Amino acid sequence: MNDDFLHRLRKPPRPAFAARLRAQLGRQSTSPPPPRVPSRAHTLLTLLLLGGTAFALTAVAIRGLPPSLVALYQYATVWIGAERTTAPAHRVGNQGMGQGPRWNASASSSAHGAALHGGTTQAAAPAMSARPAATSSAGSPGGSASVGGAPAGSQVAQISVVSSWSAYPYAAAVAERVNGTTGTAGRPIAPHIDVSVRDSDVWPGPMCSGGANAPDLAYAFEPLGSVSRRPCPRNTSGGNPSPVIAIPVGYETVLLARSPLYGELDLTRRQIFLALAKWVPVPARAGTVHENPSATWRQIDAALGPEPIAFMGPPLSSAAGRSMIELLMEGGCNTYPWIAALESTHPGRYARICRTVRTDGVYVEVSGLAAPTLLAEPNAVGIFGLHGIFGPAGRSELSMNGLAVSKLDGTEPTQQDIQSGAYPGSRALYLFNRGRVTSNVVFSLLEGEFLPHPDWALVPAPMQELRADYTAGLTP
């Protein structure tokens, strides 16, 4: 052990964590901090010093004055005193100076970030309210703004988007692409998109709230379904009276495959959790965990083979790695009711049990895992984030490359089962629109160059069908 060894133990924070924390702080910046107030002792000391000095000086100065000037001085003192009583009101306008540093809460390009950071009046306002024209223009059915081809002179200044934590990287990536795209003469081609994160569910939550600060769009993962028109609950009185349209953007999917040498796998999420997690439940003692002792599949389930447990999968900090942990490990972890209950009572402990992958070499992080690598390592189970690689028969491209694709909880990951919600290693990313943004803008966000599909392991939704559904009768 030496200095180098100790320094090498450092590692960068997970990007997802860094982004989440940054967004959390950005969200806090929408409420300005309380103005700085001097302490009582500080104020008292200052007043005593000033008062004493003034008294000493004036006592000397007026001693030699004629009585008329003394009277004038006394009048002036009263007048200045009266002015001083109003002085704090005059300083209210300067409170912006006291707001101190601002986070750029949006996931915007640097140009937009600079605009939000600037010392303008708008920059001093909360980010969510800095969209003066969004309500009027974007809300009109014939609104002129459209992403990916908006005419110049669009009146929409900003589209505000809220996102759940898990959907935030996706929402931020789309916003970054839109905000970073400029047209002729460097002018933005679309309204600026401002993304913030919500702790609680976005539906009905902010989408059914009223007021000018309510967001225009929202992203969240939900169980699968098609385009739906959802009325806001009645108890959101004073909130949004219009139904909200929920559109599935794509299907985040994780699947497992290995060399066909040992045949196809049919694993459950619980078995995967027991094979991958660092801490697993002690079989004979409910409520306790110990470090994962399993080295072979048979130790997890006698019906499984004697092969050693070995995984190859995406880097844990990547989007696909995050999907794997949330869909497979947490899915299996939650089959233990006592662990699932920890999520609300002891979230730190829940995270440590359900989201910590073992570090004893069983899981090997591989960027860009491909079939030849797995064919050369027949024991290893490959974990893939799936993004639109279905063949004509609806089976994944992986099976066409000679790999044996594992069922998950008895279901094969076919396109049909993913889009129907039957495959448990999948979930849908939804975009919620409360009706202030036109369908042209919405579908511009869902299609084409702004979609980060390859990076985010999303199986694309059948967008043409969705657009048809949307325009056929669901448009508010």
Partner 1 sequence: MAWVFAKELDWDALYSDQLPRIYNYFRFRVGNDADAEDLTARTFESAWRARERYRDDLARFSTWLFTIAHNVAVDFLRSRRAQVPLDAVEELAAAGTPEDDATRDSDLERLSILAARLSEREQELIALKYGAALDNRQISTLTRLSESNVGTILHRAVQTLRSQW
Window 16 to 35, contacts with partner 1 (CB under 8 A):
17-18, 21-22, 24-25, 28-29, 33-35
Least Cβ distance, residue 249 to partner 1 (angstroms): 28
Contact of 67 with 56, CB cutoff 8 Å: no
Cβ-based nearer residue to partner 1, 179 or 438? 179
- Pattern 331-350, partner 1, x by CB under 8 A: -----------------xx-
CA distance 149 to 151: 6
CA distance 260 to 400: 12
Q: How many CB atoms lie within 10 A of CB 327?
A: 25
**Position 226 contacts partner 1 (CB under 8 A):** no
- Pattern 380-409, partner 1, x by CB under 8 A: ------------------------------
Cβ-based nearer residue to partner 1, 57 or 69? 57
**Position 113 contacts partner 1 (CB under 8 A):** yes
Is 407 in a helix, a strand, or coil?
strand
| Among 23, 103, 191, 276, interactor with partner 1 by CB under 8 A | 103
| Among 293, 306, 368, 473, interactor with partner 1 by CB under 8 A | 293
CA distance 128 to 212: 9
Question: Residues of 376-386 as b/e, b for ≥16 C-beta within 10 angstroms?
Answer: eeebbbbbbbb
Least Cβ distance, residue 6 to partner 1 (angstroms): 4
Lookup: tokens for 69: 């000037």
Radius of gyration of the chain (CA): 30
Lookup: tokens for 416: 């049909």
Is 175 in a helix, a strand, or coil?
helix
| Among 65, 72, 282, 364, interactor with partner 1 by CB under 8 A | 282
| Among 44, 70, 97, 364, interactor with partner 1 by CB under 8 A | 97
* DSSP characters over 211-227: STTS-SEEEEEES----
**Position 11 contacts partner 1 (CB under 8 A):** yes
Cβ neighbours for 293, distance < 8 A, ≥ 6 positions apart: 280, 299
Window 36 to 65, contacts with partner 1 (CB under 8 A):
36, 38, 46
Cβ-based nearer residue to partner 1, 200 or 345? 345
Helix residue ranges, H only, 254-358: 269-276, 297-300, 319-324, 330-333, 337-345, 347-354
**Site stretch for partner 1 (CB under 8 A), options 1-9, 135-143, 301-309, 442-450:** 1-9
| Among 98, 126, 225, 233, interactor with partner 1 by CB under 8 A | 98
Question: Under the rule (CB under 8 A), what is the footprint of partner 1?
Answer: 1-3, 5-7, 9-14, 17-18, 21-22, 24-25, 28-29, 33-36, 38, 46, 97-98, 100-104, 113, 279, 282, 287-291, 293, 348-349, 351-353, 355-356, 359-360
